[in-house]
Amino acid sequence: MGSATLPDGRWVISIAGHRIPDKELIGGKAWSIAKMGTLGLPVPPAFVVTTRACVAYLQTGAFPTGLVEEIAAGIAWLESATDRRFGSGPRPLLVSVRSGAPVSMPGMMDTILNLGVNDVTEQSLATDCSDDRFARDTHRRFIELYAAIVLKVDSAVLGNVEDLTSWREAIASAAGVPLPGNVVEQLHGAVRAVFESWNSRRARRYREHHGVPDHFGTAVVVQAMVFGNLDEQSGTGVLFTRNPVTGERSVFGEFLPKAQGEDVVSGRHTPLPLDEMRNHTPRAFAELMRAAQLLERENGDVQDIEFTVERGRLFLLQTRVAKRAPLAAVRIAAEMVREGIAEPDSAFAKLTCEQVRHVLSPRLPSGTADSAVILARGEGASYGIGCGVVVTDPDEAEMRAHGGEDVVLVRATTSPNDIHGMIAARAIVTEQGGSTSHAAVVGRALGRPVIVGCGAGNVMPLAGRTVTVDGGSGVVYADRLKLLVPAEDADTALADLLRWAELRSPVKVAAAPPPHAVLFDLDAVDDVVNPDSLRRFLSGIDLGSALHGRVLSSETAVAACVASGATLLIANPRLPVLLAAIRAVAERSAAHSKDV
């Protein structure tokens, strides 16, 4: 790709890799592309129509003078950088168009992909990739996105998608305006749609509620698309810098040779483990490994990186902080501190009390599946273990739970009429339905273990039996099984975190009260879930007392104790409460510095 630079215009700025323009001018997305570029990492070339242009457009309802010319210069720059042509062959330039406000908010325009494909360039693309079907799918996807995002028409219900000409006509007549065939007009339409999305109902409400000024405006990122399906030296994939399930310190990911990003979703190809990429494109693989390490160090956290290899050349499309399972979160937090990548304070800021609680929650000992009697299997839809007597009627479940019994609610399916029984139950099991069924959705909202889809007639006959439900693996066991409660100092990662947390916590947290301590049960306070009543109670007692109660599992309750000057909390496990206390102080000082 060429390297001639584009001089900064009044409205358009190139993201060329040697500097990072002001975030308020180019928005968050372009800012992170620019950031990767300055680290020397390969990103597809892009230019930004700035927030300044958006503000000017919104004042007059028309493109400001010079914007059309500057966009054309931006496109010419992308053409020379990629050696492709916008709107013509033999190697057509396709771009993505994204909104990029300085702060992310709802209601902003979704991404338009494949802009630049039309009847003519579809042919060139088919030749360039030697794949007619890919070129047609690319064209169809563009029309679908442009119709939905720019013309606000649901194209899926209109006409025959196999016949592009009649489909386009149907879309145009539903929209009341034509779908332009000219790629420059399409680009202008997309830029206008991004500008206008700044004033969508949702974006306006969000700004009003979160105090984001209306005059910021949004930028538009126009980025060259790269192709992972051109030849055997091309491909696309995703990489995690550490294993997001176990936390293990080794890269983890998938690679699809000779494929484009959308192929992953369509299921046309089966992805390979990332290691296989070493054989397909060894140089790009080595470069990717270096980039992964650099991005993890630079951002101080595990990264989730999307990339494409085009004819042997690596391009990074996006990097973000990786999502992780609770076990991985704990392990990663501890190891990042030990490796010197993160400070304990920032590691704690990324670890939630919920994640720690999850890792420390009771579980079935390993080997249970071999020794215990399995009564039924289904799809585990909400994590956790629940034991009790099987009840098949929600009213009965509520009544017996009220009488102090542990019950497991079993139904063929659940409906809103069953909610009181679901709240009362220790676990919920259904015969029909999958992970999006009512039982699964409501059970997760209530934090109950749920198994769905055990099969007709397989669990309703269990009424009256005592069972143990494992909502993670989807197994119903006979009887009340013994649970294993993980110790928070048995694991080195947890033990390290506990030690660092104790040094930072504003309040002492003990597993049991010291002898002769004055003990207060916070659960006995009237309206204890309300932090104000908790504070009122605390203002009337000796703050050297030991405070305990189930309410300490709530972060707001711990924050209220810290704010009131409590000195000793009793809780087991201790780490989630210590984390909540540290977080309370951090949030208070953040709020304080904002006021000042």
The minimum distance between CB 154 and another protein, in angstroms, equals 7
d(CA 87, CA 121): 6
DSSP string, 91-121: SB--EEEEEE-SS--TTPPPPEEEET--HHH
What is the DSSP code (8-state) at residue 363? B
Residue 529 interacts with another protein (CB under 8 A): yes or no: no
Pairing mode of beta strands 235-240, 95-100: unpaired
The amino acid that residue 37 corresponds to is G
Residues 24, 189, 157: CA angle, nearest 5 degrees: 120
The minimum distance between CB 419 and another protein, in angstroms, equals 6
Task: Decide: 534 and 561 in contact? Cβ < 8 Å.
Answer: yes
By beta-carbon proximity to another protein, the closer residue of 159 and 513 is 159
Q: Out of 138, 382, 468, 505, point to the residue binding another protein (CB under 8 A).
A: 382
The minimum distance between CB 539 and another protein, in angstroms, equals 28
The amino acid that residue 385 corresponds to is I
d(CA 518, CA 507): 16
The minimum distance between CB 413 and another protein, in angstroms, equals 5
Binding window for another protein (CB under 8 A); candidates: 99-107, 138-146, 181-189, 497-505: 99-107
Query: How buried is residue 236: exposed, middle or buried, by Cβ count under 10 Å (0-12/13-18/19+)?
Result: buried
Written as six digits, the tokens of 362 are: 């009771």
The minimum distance between CB 304 and another protein, in angstroms, equals 10
Q: How far is CA 414 from the centre of its chain?
A: 29
Residue 105 interacts with another protein (CB under 8 A): yes or no: yes
Task: Decide: 432 and 451 in contact? Cβ < 8 Å.
Answer: no
By beta-carbon proximity to another protein, the closer residue of 423 and 517 is 423
Question: Which residues within the stretch 138-167 sit at the binding site for another protein (CB under 8 A)?
Answer: 154
Residue 372 interacts with another protein (CB under 8 A): yes or no: no
d(CA 444, CA 422): 11
Residue 104 interacts with another protein (CB under 8 A): yes or no: yes
The minimum distance between CB 343 and another protein, in angstroms, equals 19
What contacts 24+ positions apart, CB below 8 Å, involve 146-154?
146/112, 146/115, 146/179, 146/186, 146/189, 146/190, 147/171, 147/175, 147/179, 148/110, 149/109, 149/110, 149/112, 149/190, 149/193, 150/112, 150/189, 150/190, 150/192, 150/193, 151/175, 151/177, 151/179
**Per-residue mark of binding to another protein, 421-450 (x: CB under 8 A):** -xx--------xxxxxxx-xxx-xxx----
Question: Which residues within the stretch 212-231 sit at the binding site for another protein (CB under 8 A)?
Answer: none
By beta-carbon proximity to another protein, the closer residue of 352 and 553 is 352
The minimum distance between CB 549 and another protein, in angstroms, equals 21
The minimum distance between CB 56 and another protein, in angstroms, equals 26
Residue 474 interacts with another protein (CB under 8 A): yes or no: no
Residue 205 interacts with another protein (CB under 8 A): yes or no: yes
Question: Which residues within the stretch 122-141 sit at the binding site for another protein (CB under 8 A)?
Answer: none
Residue 416 interacts with another protein (CB under 8 A): yes or no: yes
d(CA 228, CA 370): 46
The minimum distance between CB 232 and another protein, in angstroms, equals 26
Q: Out of 39, 286, 321, 518, point to the residue binding another protein (CB under 8 A).
A: 321
Residue 325 interacts with another protein (CB under 8 A): yes or no: yes
d(CA 368, CA 377): 14
The minimum distance between CB 210 and another protein, in angstroms, equals 7
Residue 98 interacts with another protein (CB under 8 A): yes or no: no
Residue 174 interacts with another protein (CB under 8 A): yes or no: no
Crossing angle for the helix pair 183-197 and 51-60, to the nearest 10 degrees:
80
Q: What are phi and psi of 40, to 5 degrees?
A: 80, 15
Residue 61 interacts with another protein (CB under 8 A): yes or no: no
What does the binding site for another protein look like in residue numbers (CB under 8 A)? Answer: 104-108, 154, 202, 205-206, 209-210, 240, 243-245, 252, 321, 323-326, 328, 350, 352, 354-355, 358, 382-383, 413, 415-417, 419-420, 422-423, 432-438, 440-442, 444-446
